[in-house]
A and B are shown apart, each in its own frame.
Chain A
Amino acid sequence: MATPAIPLSTRLSARGLDGVTLLVLPAAIVLIALFVYPFGYGLWLSFRPKDGTLLGNYGKFFADPFLYDTIYTTLALAVPVTLMNLFLAVPVAFRVRLMRHQRLLTTILVLPITLGTVLVAEGMLNYFGPQGWFVRALTSTGLFNVSQIKLVHNYWGVFLSLLITGFPFTFLLTLSYVTGIDPGLEQAAATLGARAAERFRHIFLPLLVPGLAITFCLSFVQAYSVFPSAVLLGAPAGPTRVISIAAYQAAFEEYDYSMASAIAMIMGAVQLVVVVAVLAARNLFYRGPAAGAKG
């Protein structure tokens, strides 16, 4: 029995493949060419070092303290800053969620994100510099003298810049998670006798942890890839020689693209390890909707 042939186009569209679906192709091709391929190429290139061995670049990286110390240097900046941003963002988000006119505040906070790290770095060189307003204000209290305070061209310069550009980012992300929690849940907990601290511990925190884990990951990844402020505000030869500086120098100062790719891969791998660890921990918590379950 010959069944009437169903045209190929009909069979394809039954699986969701038709003219409209094809619209996704140009964007997908561009991203494969400009994102997936370079990544794969970089990975391949990293195993083709100048000395011809397979793992030469990686061996060199982990043998040279000038290179492998950058991992520690970067983590020593990124982890404390991210945690600090998160610890500041949560209580502030909890107060701001009750505000009716949040927009002015969120607009001010979006400024450093929009202006970007380079401008903030230039501003900070003025403001936190030895003759800047901040140091002036501190010394005018009489508690400090100028020689005691050094806030630029060292670890703290980079730390502060990551705080100033990172906090708004962390905060806005946290705020969106906090406002996603049904305020009715807190009211319900209150009617059942839970005090403010208990409401936070038993209701908000468990519901917020998955979102905070995501926030931590995104904020951490940004801080970990710090580049312009580490150069401009830090001591790029020493205490703030972060891993992206090492990668940049390999590529554009030594023109060793193979080594640069290897460093970029190591950088990506370290980020991945931290992100995967945090996300794995997140899986231990409730992850459903936090808007008060509705059937």
Chain B
Amino acid sequence: MTAVSLPSASAATTGPSALRSVGSRLWIIAVWTTVIFFIINLLGIIAAVVTSSFATRWLRSWLPSGYTTRWYVSAWEEFQLHDVLLVTFQIVGAVVMLSGLLGVPAAYAMARREFPGKKALMLLFLLPLLVPPVTFGIPLATVLYQSGVGGTMAGVILANLVPTVPFVILVMIPFIEQIDPRVEAAARVFGAGTFKMFIYVLLPLLMPGILASLLLVLVRTIAMFELTFLTAGPTSQTLVVALYYAVFAAGVRAVQSIDAMAVVYMVTTLIWLVIALRFVNPTQMVTRAKRQPAH
């Protein structure tokens, strides 16, 4: 969808007028300068957190006066990171599994059947991705608190399903559509029942798509702040929410300790991002689900 293969003849062109004027050269330099400036600042922001987390004392100087790992030990205890990480993985694991179980079959039905009301369903699956979490998160949190699951782990999991199930569906629909339905027909002709057909034919074919979409769900759920923040109680905070409270209450604890926690969060996210990027293109992080309504 996002990958465009250029015809071989033009693959090496640098635009129609290969012969550039001074003006266009300046323009190109300006564009790249902007990009590089942006990236330097971005990497600077990340590096500042990492450096600070290892700093003994860092005031009024370019670099800290010394380095230590003790902030990680103190952050681990102060913020009860052991518990927080456990809760995070339980919530993320449940969200990934449930959105796979709900999303993949729904995507299969959406990709393979034409039925009345399909357009309305498509809208139902698109809206949670288009409406920002804060907007629907507050009424959702209200409902969850009134029904008694607010503040519990179950409530956090339910709230996180709202964007992830549609995400899986929208990633999987084009993936399923490109699998020739005659493959399934052939499996049936050779005597495979529905269950065997699913296990031996469909699942292996769908696996790359399922893997990719669930990895993206995983990364997004670890980083999902708003919904978790609005629905979590003290025992159901994920890492990113705990980090928010720590930053919010800055001054209570040492900056380095908060930064150590931030690094733990960063590493947790980036490990999964690196794994996910083996299976998906970075642009898919935003465009797969978002491009659908464009047509």
Contact = CB atoms under 8 A, between A and B. Distances in A.
Contact of A196 (B24, B102, B113, B229): B24
Given A24-B109, A92-B31, A110-B285, A31 B162 contact: yes
Contacts of A126: 45, 48-49, 52, 255, 259
A34 B109 contact: no
B282 A119 contact: no
A211 B290 CA distance: 11
B248 A232 contact: yes
A261 interface: yes
A227 B294 contact: no
A244 to B, nearest CB: 4
Contacts of B283: 106, 172, 175-176
B95 interface: no
B225 A228 contact: yes
A77 interface: no
B140 A133 contact: no
5 contacts: A23-B108, A119-B243, A169-B286, A172-B283, A172-B287
Contact of B262 (A91, A119, A164, A248): A119
Interface string B220-232: 0001111001100
B145 to A, nearest CB: 8
Contacts, number: 282
A167 interface: yes
A20 B109 contact: yes
B225 A107 contact: no
A38 B139 CA distance: 5
B269 A115 contact: yes
Given A175-B283, A190-B16, A26 B102 contact: yes
A161 B102 CA distance: 35
A133 B124 contact: no
Interface of A: 15-18, 20-24, 26-28, 30-32, 34-39, 41-43, 45, 88, 91-92, 94-95, 98, 100, 103, 105-127, 131-134, 136, 164, 167, 169, 172-173, 175-177, 179-180, 183-184, 186-187, 189-191, 195-196, 199, 210-211, 214, 218, 221-222, 224-225, 227-228, 231-232, 244, 247-248, 251-252, 257, 260-261, 263-264, 267-268, 271
Interface of B: 1-2, 4, 6-7, 10-11, 14-17, 24, 27-28, 31-32, 34-35, 38-39, 41-46, 48-49, 52, 59-60, 62, 101-103, 105-106, 108-110, 112-116, 121, 124-125, 127-128, 130-136, 138-143, 145, 158-159, 161-162, 165-166, 169, 219, 223-226, 229-230, 240, 243-244, 247-248, 250, 255, 258-259, 262, 265-266, 269-270, 273, 277, 281-283, 285-287, 290-291, 293-294
A116 B227 CA distance: 13
Contact of B105 (A24, A190, A257): A24
B7 to A, nearest CB: 8
Given A106-B282, A222-B132, A30 B112 contact: no
A248 B137 CA distance: 10
B139 A39 contact: yes
B221 to A, nearest CB: 11
Contacts of A92: 31, 34-35
Contacts of B270: 114-115
Contacts of A31: 124-125, 128, 162, 165-166
